[in-house]
Chain A
Amino acid sequence: MNRLSSSVPVDEYLADSSVLVYLSDAVTQLLEHKEEYTQFGVVRYFAEYFSSVKNSNHVLFREYSYIRATLHNRASFIRVFWRCYRQIGKSGDMLSMLEYRSLLQLLCPDFPVEVVQSAARIVLMDDAIDCLMSFPDFLYAFQLQFYYQEFLDSVLAIYQDLLAGKSPNTVIVPTSTSIELLHSVTAEENEKAGQQQDGVESSTLAECVEALCDRFKHCHPSRSCMKEVFNQTEKVCYFSFLMSLAKHETINETIGALPSKAELLIDQEMDQELDKLIAQISVSPGSNSSGSAVGGLKEAQRKASPRRNIHHRRKVESDGSTEETDSSEN
């Protein structure tokens, strides 16, 4: 406990912690499922709710607005994503951006494609967005993009201003509308893809990012890590900068959702838990049918899971047609 905390005014204390988000969500959930939740008493309900938030298993199957509402929720979701699909990394499968989106949507039905796109751009350095990505590459890029999305959007805006030769001071900090903004930005950005190869002066971007950090209280990667990355090269391009951040071990530790890359795929206990989760998720109909259809193509080694369903579909289609049709179908 912080000894000096009594000097913090009440409203500031409540605003700094995201506890009000949870209180209001708890009541909303309670009202939506009155009968279900009240049979054991409301006190027990609140106890369960806050315990699940504390243990980070509160984001599964929740809507996107809730998942991104707090940093704790974001970290919890990244962890859930990793735990659910770790097997992909183990088997070494490469998936496309849209397939990763499908996986994400199994955990969060309205997960927007834009965030997945941005993460894929980090891995693929903005070109060849249909290429396949390994699970760990995508996971760490996704973590960075999803956890620091507002901050990164602002960095992108600054970066583009710098590229265009504008003064970055006029940059408007995107807030909740960041997604739409990102959308318009990406279109614009494709036009001048040629320019982007060069990037901008690291020192200039570093200065702007430093100033940006002051506006984003704690929601940015640590300054020292970013400085470290900026110091590596004279010129930096946005996506290579993000790639370095995504691979940065200290940033990963700060977020605290994922283990280091070396330990990403090792965990006996997790395997058992994963089996349980898969058993829960694979209740969805149809997960077995495609498995049997392509049974001959793959050695039967894993349990039925939605993931495998998608995976097999890709295999089948990529045999007959191109990746493009696969992507558009998804």
Chain B
Amino acid sequence: MADKEKRRSGVTPPGMPEGRAAKLDSDREFLSSAGVGELLRGAILKMVEARSDDPVGFLADHFCNLASVTETGAAGCGDGDAHGNGPLSASASAQEAQQHLNRALWHLRLAHHSQRSAFSNNVRVAYDLLNLTGACRQPPEGPEGPEGSCTEGPTPEGGGGGVKGGLYTQTLQCLCSEGGVPASTSAPLLQRLHCQDHEAVPYDVFRHGVLTCAVFSDYIRQAQRLYAEVCCPDEGPASRALCLAVLGTLKEALETSQGCDANCCLNANAKANHCLEAGVKAIRYLEASAKISPCKLAQAMSGAQTRGPGGHMDAKEFENAAAELFITRVKVVS
């Protein structure tokens, strides 16, 4: 479908003067020689895969990224020729690492984590990109060889045995802050997911970390929304009793679904046929969502209005409390 659309738009653009076969032929030739068809096919596939709410913005980012990759790629090659005899300067390699990180983050942003297969693909691409940087930065490997391979573009075999821990942490930090999570809120989570800077992070751990941060960002946004619902903006901060009731309900729901999050991440690669387990899990999810349903919440809140502690709770405190509920359920890495 997408292909059909593209071909139609690519070959007979509306608004062209009609009946000029020669011009059409030369246009067709031009488009195929410039690789426009391939370019647009790739872009549309990516766009449809990600189902972005803002497709134009998505395409703008996509083409900008592609353009900068091809342009820096070409520049990188030139650079490599010029400095063919000596190792790259520290600043150049740091710059390159930054570029790889940016590109990796860009890939991670492409699809929401609920689009599992697209998201997994993107995580893999990001991992390979960062892995490349690791290979480049490793001094013992000899400066010239790996340099060449990384400026040429992604090479599957050019891995350094795993993404460096420092880079992994940096990626997670960026993901959280881009997801709108304040650094103070995400710090305890990152503590749990932390790997040593010198460690080589295997793919599974990387995926687990990235996914957890993505889910966490969503979770915090929901928590912020929940607080906004509880509090009336005109009357200052929400009452403590109400907040505690809501948090209590949230906790109960999370406890019902406990183990699911962790299982889900750990079992992702070992796709065992735990049909029974899956069934149990599904039931638990249903129970959990029933527990956080609007009527349950309303019950808890009306109960809390009559009794419970006085005073107020501000947005930050609520967010921290909600974050803590999440974070305690995240396994400590290594």
Contacts and interface: CB of A to CB of B under 8 A. Distances in A.
A72 B63 contact: no
Given A14-B48, A34-B30, A27 B10 contact: yes
B10 A41 contact: no
B15 A41 contact: no
Contact of B48 (A1, A13, A23, A25): A13
A50 B60 contact: yes
B63 A46 contact: yes
Q: Chain A binding site: helix, strand, loop or mixed by DSSP?
A: helix
Contacts of B115: 6
Contact of B60 (A13, A31, A34, A47): A47
Interface stretch (B1-9, B180-188, B236-244): B1-9
B252 to A, nearest CB: 24
A44 to B, nearest CB: 5
A24 B51 contact: no
B14 interface: yes
Secondary structure call for the B interface: helix
Interface string A23-46: 111011011001000100111101
A2 B47 CA distance: 14
A211 interface: no
A10 B70 CA distance: 29
A20 B5 contact: yes
Contacts of B47: 19
Interface string B35-59: 1100110011001101111011101
B114 A24 contact: no
B63 A31 contact: no
B9 A54 contact: no
B31 interface: yes
Contacts of B39: 42-43, 46
Contacts of B27: 31
A17 B60 contact: no
A54 B55 CA distance: 10
Given A23-B6, A31-B30, A43-B70, A2 B51 contact: yes
A11 interface: yes
B13 A27 contact: yes
Nearest to A29: B13
Contacts of B114: 3, 6
Nearest to B40: A23
Interface in B111-137: 111-112, 114-115
Contact of B9 (A17, A27, A51): A27
A28 B13 contact: yes
A5 interface: yes
A262 interface: no
Nearest to B218: A3
Given A24-B9, A41-B70, A3 B112 contact: yes
Contacts of A49: 63
B36 A27 contact: yes
Contact of A28 (B15, B57, B59, B66): B15
A10 B15 CA distance: 26
Contacts of B234: none
A17 B55 contact: yes
Contacts of A34: 30
Interface string B86-116: 0000000000000000000000000110110
B9 A23 contact: yes
A17 B57 CA distance: 11
B6 A47 contact: no
A72 B9 contact: no
A21 B159 CA distance: 42
Contacts of B67: 41, 43-44, 46-47
B15 A65 contact: yes
A31 B34 contact: no
Nearest to A30: B36
Contact of B53 (A5, A25, A30): A5
A22 interface: yes
Contact of A50 (B10, B16, B63): B63
B9 A11 contact: no
A72 to B, nearest CB: 7
A53 to B, nearest CB: 5
Nearest to A5: B51
A8 B115 CA distance: 13
Contact of B34 (A6, A23, A42, A50): A42
Contacts of B44: 23
A28 B14 contact: yes
A72 B53 CA distance: 14
Interface of A: 1-3, 5-6, 8, 10-11, 13-14, 17, 19-20, 22-25, 27-28, 30-31, 34, 38, 41-44, 46-47, 49-51, 53-54, 65, 72
User: Which A-B residue pairs are the 9 nearest by beta carbons?
Assistant: A24-B9, A47-B63, A50-B60, A28-B13, A5-B51, A19-B55, A1-B112, A46-B63, A47-B67
Given A19-B59, A30-B36, A46-B63, 11 more contacts: A1-B111, A2-B53, A3-B112, A13-B48, A13-B51, A14-B1, A14-B48, A42-B35, A43-B70, A54-B57, A72-B56
28 contacts: A1-B53, A3-B112, A5-B53, A10-B1, A11-B1, A23-B9, A23-B59, A24-B8, A24-B9, A24-B14, A27-B36, A28-B14, A28-B16, A30-B36, A31-B13, A41-B70, A42-B34, A43-B63, A43-B67, A44-B71, A46-B40, A46-B67, A47-B63, A49-B63, A50-B62, A51-B60, A51-B64, A53-B56
